[in-house]
Structure 1
C-alpha cells in the first residue's frame, strides 16, 4: 500500500477575483481565468476537472458544464501580496509571506557594499549613464533586475567558470539580508566571461542591471536560486518532510523556485514532459510527496492567448485522468493554482484570483465534500504535512475533514 500525496499546480488557473482586488489591483476587476476560458468558443475537453469539481469551485454552471455531485473541493485565497508564482509556491509550502518593498539598487548599494566587504569580498562600482552597479570579485554583479517589473527584485549574476555557483549563491544570501524587495535572484552560467557581463550593463530610468539574456548566462550550465523576502526554507514543507524521512519530488517550475532538500528535481517547461516524468515516478515509487507545476498555462495567459491556454488545459485534463488511474487506496491528488492570469482581462500580467482546490482519493470515491474557502494557500502544505504525520509553521490542515468523511463513508 502506498502513501503518496500529489499536488498538481496549474499555474495561473484562477477561479475569480479576490475580494480586495478593487482596492489593491483595480486592473484585475472582473478577472476569472477558468470561467472566461470555459465561456470561450475554443473546444474544451475538461471532463476530469469538471468531475473533480471545477464548476463547484467557480460556483457557477454553464449550459454544458455543470457542478459535480461527487466532488471534494474548495477554494483558497492568496495570502501573499499581489499575484506571483514564486510567492504562491512559497505559500503553498507553508510560508506566511511578508509584504515586500519596492526599491532600486541606488537606495541600498552602500549597505550592500559595506556588508560584502566585511565578509571579505572585493567590490568596485562601475558607472553607466550616471548610474552605478556593484561588481564583486571581478566575476559577478549585484544590480537591479531589469527583466521584470522594475523595483521588485535584485539580481546577483555571475560567471560560473570564474567563481562557481556556490559563491554566487552566497553573495545572493548576503544581499538578501540587506534588502526587503520581493526577490533576490542569484544565478549564473558557464562560457561567460566577466567582460560579457560588463558589456551588457544597461540602464532603464533609475535602474541599472546586467541584461541576462544578452550576457549569455542562460546558454550553458545555468544555475539559479530565488531568495524571497521572509522565506525560510527550514520551516517549509520540504524541509520538514525531509527530516521525517519522506522524499519530495518536484517537476517543472516548482523545481526551480522551491528549495528541496531531497534533491529530486526535474526542471522542464513542456507539459507532456513534466507529466510523463511524474507518471513514471509514481509507477515506480510507493511513497512520497510529489509536486508538479504546469508553466505553459501561465505562459499562455501572459501571451493573452485563449486558444493556447485551453489547449494546455485539455492536455492537463487527459494527464490528470491518467494520474487518477495510478492511485492506490491511501493516495491523495490535489489540483490547484497559484494565482490567476486571465487572458481576456485586457493586460498580460498575473491577476489576483482565488484558486481551486480539487481533491481526489480512492478512499472517498464518489463522495461529495466541501473544504470551504481557505484563507491561504499554506493550508495545502499543512494538509500534506499532517498526511505524513509532521507539522509546518503556518497553515491549517483540512485533512481532518477528509478523515471525518472517510470514517462516516465507511
Structure 2
C-alpha cells in the first residue's frame, strides 16, 4: 500500500474536448471546459491549474500557475454511451457495451404508464422528455391540485417522478419510485435509474427542487473495485450520489449531499477521519444546474467555488493520501440540445509525497482510475473488468 487513503472526486460532466468517436453521438466539436473558458472574462481556478489542468487543455482566461504539481492525463471512454452510470461504472472497471435504454423521443410505453398508475394509485401526467425545472412550471400546479405524478425522462436512461414534498409527501414519492423501479426491471423497460424529484412551492415560478432527490439505480452487472476494497476490509466512503449509482454495492459508509459545495464540505470533513481506503465523491451540480441548463458562466462560477474548497483539500492532504480528480462524461453548456456530450475527461493526481510532475499519455479508458486504486491496495481487479494501473508512473 503506497497511499493509505485515496480521495477520488468526480466533477460531474466536466469534459475537456470531444472524443474521436463523438460524431457517432452527434457531439463533434463539443468542449465543456473550452467553451466555459470562452465565456469567463477572468477564470479563477488557481488550484486546478496548479494540478496541471492547463497541461491537458488550454485555459485562456485562467492565470498560469507559478508551479505545477502532480500528474495529469486525458482519459477516453471505452464504453458505449455517455451517461452517469456508464461513466462511473467504467471508472471502477466495468465496460458497458450495450447502452442503457432511453425513451427520449417517444416517452414511456402506455403499458408501463398504465401499470405505474395501477400499482401506485396515482394518475400520471407529462410522460415525455423535458427539463426538470420547465416541467415543474408547466405541470406543478396541476399536480398539486389533482395528485397526479409528473413523470418525465431526459437524454439519459432515466424515469423521473416529480412530486411536491408538501402535498404529495416524500415517503409517498419514494414508495412510488420503488414501484417504478420494480416495473422497470423488465427487459423492455429497463432504464438505468428511477429518480425521485421532490420539490416545494405553490405556483408557477416558485417551484424549487429540494435536496431530497433519491436515485434507484440498477446494480452493477458485475463486481467493481469498490466490492474488492470492501471485501478486503478497507473503508469505502461514498459522498453525493455515488451510493445510488452503485446501488450500495461495495459501499461501507454513505453520505448524501445537498449540493456540490456541501459535498466538498463533507469531503473536507472526511479528511479528519482515521480511515484506510477510498473516499469516492460525486459533485452533481455542475451537470444538473449548469450543463443541462446550458449556462456556461454559471458552470464556470461553480468551478471557481469548487476550486476554493479544493484549496482546503490540498492543505489537509497527508503524505500518504492520494487525490484523484476526474469526471464521468461531458455536458457542454454551449452545445445544441440539453444532452450530455461524448468527451474526454481530465485526470489530475496529486499527493504531497510526490516528487515528480508531468503529463501522462492519454488513456483509452476511464478504468485506469479503479485499476490504480486497486493496485495501491494490492488488490486484483475483479474478473471481467478493464483498466491498467498508473501507480507506477506516480513518483
Fold conserved between structures, TM > 0.5 = yes
Aligned to 1:395: 386
- Give secondary structure in 2 for the equivalent of 1:176: coil
In 2, Cα distance between equivalents of 1:62 and 1:187: 39
Q: Which runs of 5+ in 2 are unaligned?
A: 129-150, 199-206
Aligned to 1:100: 100
Q: Which runs of 5+ in 1 are unaligned?
A: 113-124, 127-131, 190-213
Retained in 1: the 8 A contact 2:161–2:196? yes
In 2, Cα distance between equivalents of 1:332 and 1:172: 36
Aligned to 1:136: 119
Retained in 1: the 8 A contact 2:55–2:72? yes
The reply to whether residue 47 of structure 1 matches residue 46 of structure 2 is yes
Aligned to 2:290: 300
- Give secondary structure in 2 for the equivalent of 1:395: coil
Retained in 1: the 8 A contact 2:161–2:195? yes
Retained in 1: the 8 A contact 2:153–2:160? no
Retained in 1: the 8 A contact 2:8–2:323? yes
Retained in 2: the 8 A contact 1:140–1:157? no
- Give secondary structure in 2 for the equivalent of 1:380: helix
- Give secondary structure in 2 for the equivalent of 1:260: coil
TM-superposed CA distance for 1:74, in Å, is 0.6
In 2, Cα distance between equivalents of 1:220 and 1:364: 38
In 1, Cα distance between equivalents of 2:47 and 2:257: 24
Q: How has the CA–CA distance of structure 1 residues 100 and 275 changed in structure 2, closer, same or farther, with 3 Å as cutoff? A: closer
TM-superposed CA distance for 1:168, in Å, is 6.7
Structure whose CA Rg is larger: 1
TM-superposed CA distance for 1:6, in Å, is 0.6
Retained in 1: the 8 A contact 2:158–2:191? yes
The reply to whether residue 320 of structure 1 matches residue 288 of structure 2 is no
Aligned to 2:14: 13
Is the deviation greater in 150-159 or in 248-257?
150-159
Normalization by structure 1: what TM-score?
0.72
Q: How has the CA–CA distance of structure 1 residues 69 and 163 changed in structure 2, closer, same or farther, with 3 Å as cutoff? A: closer
Q: How has the CA–CA distance of structure 1 residues 63 and 348 changed in structure 2, closer, same or farther, with 3 Å as cutoff? A: closer
Aligned to 2:229: 241
TM-superposed CA distance for 1:164, in Å, is 11
Q: How has the CA–CA distance of structure 1 residues 394 and 133 changed in structure 2, closer, same or farther, with 3 Å as cutoff? A: same
- Give secondary structure in 2 for the equivalent of 1:333: strand
Residues 157-176 of structure 1: matches in 2 within 5 Å? 169=178, 172=181, 175-176=184-185
TM-superposed CA distance for 1:357, in Å, is 0.5
In 2, Cα distance between equivalents of 1:379 and 1:331: 18
In 1, Cα distance between equivalents of 2:244 and 2:325: 20
In 2, Cα distance between equivalents of 1:78 and 1:325: 31
The reply to whether residue 185 of structure 1 matches residue 194 of structure 2 is yes
Is the deviation greater in 316-325 or in 3-12?
316-325
- Give secondary structure in 2 for the equivalent of 1:48: helix
TM-superposed CA distance for 1:65, in Å, is 4.7
In 1, Cα distance between equivalents of 2:298 and 2:59: 23
